[in-house]
Amino acid sequence: MILHKHAGIFAAGEGSRLQAAYPGMPKPMVPIFGKPLIEWTVKLLEAAGVEHVTILLNSKGKAAREHLKKAFPNLKFIFLVKDTRSSYESFRLVSQTLAMESEKFLLSAVDSLYNPADLRQLLQYSQDNAFDALLGVTDRIEDEKPLWADTDAAGRIVALGDKAKKKITATNGLYCFTAQVAQEMPDPARYTALRQYLGELVHGGKTVYSALIADSVDVDDPADIKLAEEFLRGSFGAQQEDR
């Protein structure tokens, strides 16, 4: 039984690489099989057993908020609105909000899609094991700037980013954190990117473990839309007629 059913999505980015195909459209609303990207992200969390979802949107995110409230009437949402200056500031705001509700929680980037079975397994591992943070990793690297994560035999991350030597797996946008670590996160001005904070967490001695996610897709540019549709077809049997 999964005891912590709280999750957060940080969706305050501009999605600049998608603007060529979807000018003026907020990234969470980019259509995948005729449905907004963020609807699929929430659908995956719901399928994994999540019941409470905290979502950070920027000041252009009103349409996403209204859409989700109608699409998921049984989920409990907390919507945060802020034009954050960095991915770390977004991550910190969502994390500290979740820390007021749950001792452990899941976070996901809005543009990352996963198999619900993998998410359930990650949540179960999170429940059964002690750590400061748990990062989803993948060995299927498609990111232009992967955040490499070297692990030991037990799955603990021992080197991250530029300090990684093996470079077999990289983070993929899924994170489990404890409330204590979230409450200790430094001021947003300290980092310009989330990866800087995660690197300091690992190399500063915190217990940061990895969870291998077999399949995932990141929707960063128009070419990723087709990959996302193929992935969702396999995960949900989604079809274009689902508009």
CATH code of residue 128: 3.90.550.10
Rounded-to-integer distance, Cα 226 and Cα 220, Å: 12
How much is the pLDDT for 241? 45
Name the average pLDDT for the chain.
91
Query: Pick the residue with more confidence: 210 or 220?
Result: 210
Q: Is residue 243 part of a domain?
A: no
Confidence of residue 4 (pLDDT cuts 50, 70, 90): low
The count of structural domains within the chain is 1
Q: Is 100 left (phi over 0), alpha (psi -120 to 50) or beta?
A: alpha
> Does this model's pTM top 0.85?
yes
Q: Is the pLDDT of residue 17 over 70?
A: yes
Q: Is residue 81 part of a domain?
A: yes
Q: Is the pLDDT of residue 142 over 60?
A: yes
- Among 104-108, 131-135, 151-155, 211-215, the minimum mean pLDDT is found in 211-215
Rounded-to-integer distance, Cα 192 and Cα 166, Å: 26
Residue 111, CA distances (Å) to 2, 73, 119, 203 in order? 25, 22, 15, 27
User: What count of other Cβ atoms lies within 10 Å of the Cβ of residue 189?
Assistant: 10
Rounded-to-integer distance, Cα 66 and Cα 38, Å: 12
Residue 213, CA distances (Å) to 19, 123, 241 in order? 29, 12, 29
Q: What percent of the chain has pLDDT over 90?
A: 72
Facing residues of 200 across strands?
A: none
Q: Is residue 212 part of a domain?
A: yes
* Alpha-helix residue ranges (DSSP H) falling in the chain: 37-47, 62-71, 87-99, 116-128, 179-183, 194-203, 223-236
Give mean pLDDT, residues 87-101: 96
Confidence of residue 140 (pLDDT cuts 50, 70, 90): confident
**Contact of 141 with 158, CB cutoff 8 Å:** no
Q: Is residue 145 part of a domain?
A: yes
Domain of residue 125, residue span: 6-236
Paired sense of beta strands 133-138 and 208-212, if any = parallel
On the CB side of 45, CA atoms within 13 Å amount to 32
